Structures are given as structure tokens and as C-alpha cells.
Amino acid sequence: MSLREMTDSVMIEGLVVETVIGVYDWERNITQRLELDLEMGWDNRRAAASDRVEDALDYARVSEAVSELLQRLQPQLLETAAEAVASLLQDQFRVPWVSLTLRKPGAVPAARSVGVRLNRGQADV
């Protein structure tokens, strides 16, 4: 099966990361909550056949890497954070595509959260 025919994915929903993020001076002195939903292209057949985590996209390792990246990066913009996460997933974990939503709850008092959504890569690479 070619990647074009692959429709498998691995999801991580509601990943919470506390980090410094924001453009205002006061935001650079506190941590704030970010919430991520990730869907990553991954051929799950090998892991299904072996029943071994070594053959799977290890969502614990992915979650840890994303958290560490955002805590180290401390970006000003959600857009910067989202692009960095997408690049990490494609480069370090070799996912052919990623769809992610990144939210910053409470950033706008009248809204539950604000955020960005992006899709990077393609199944037919």
C-alpha cells in the first residue's frame, strides 16, 4: 500500500502544556495553559501485527517531546508554537502529515479559548 492509500492516524487530544507564551510583558513572567489536539498520519498495520510499542507511533514519547519543545521555546505567538510542533512531529517522528489545533484558554475574556489550526504534509509524499 502506498502512502497515498494510507488513511491510518494516531491522535492525541487535549494535551495540556504549561509554558511561557504571549506578546505582553506580563505574559513573559508567568506560565499559561496551552491545549493541543494532534492527528498524525501513521501506518498502524505493523504495530497491530506485532502488538509492540516499538512498532507504533508512541504517543507518550510524542506528548513528552511536544511538551518539552513548547516549554523550551516559550514563543510569543501561537502560530510560532504550532509551526514548531508540526516540524518536530514530521522531523523527529517521521509522520507524513499532521493536523493540529493549538488553543490558549482564557486569552480573550469573552471567549472560552483562542487558537490556531494547521495541516502540514500530505499522504502522497
Residue matched to cell numbers 507511533: 57
List the CATH code of the domain at 3-106. 3.30.1130.10
The Cα angle at residue 115 between residues 113 and 117, in degrees rounded to 5: 140
Residue matched to cell numbers 498520519: 41
Neighbouring C-beta atoms of residue 22, cutoff 10 Å: 19
Helix (H, G, I), strand (E, B) or coil at 121: strand
How many Å apart are CA 5 and CA 104, to the nearest integer?
A: 35
pLDDT tops 80 at residue 2: no
Domain ranges for the chain, please list them. 3-106
> Whole-number mean pLDDT of the chain?
93
121: left (phi over 0), alpha (psi -120 to 50) or beta: left
Write out the catalytic residue numbers: 104
Q: Among residues of the chain, what percentage have pLDDT more than 70?
A: 93
pLDDT tens digit string along 72-120?
A: 999 999 999 999 999 999 999 999 999 999 999 999 999 999 999 999 9
Largest CA distance in the chain: 52
**What pLDDT was estimated at residue 7?**
79
- Over range 18-29, report the average pLDDT: 96
**What pLDDT was estimated at residue 122?**
81
Q: Report if pTM > 0.95.
A: no
Residue matched to cell numbers 510583558: 25
Question: CB of 103 within 8 A of CB of 115?
Answer: yes
pLDDT tens digit string along 27-84?
A: 999 999 999 999 999 999 999 999 999 999 999 999 999 999 999 999 999 999 999 9
Cell triple for residue 56? Answer: 507504533
pLDDT tops 80 at residue 125: no
**What pLDDT was estimated at residue 6?**
59
Residue matched to cell numbers 505567538: 77
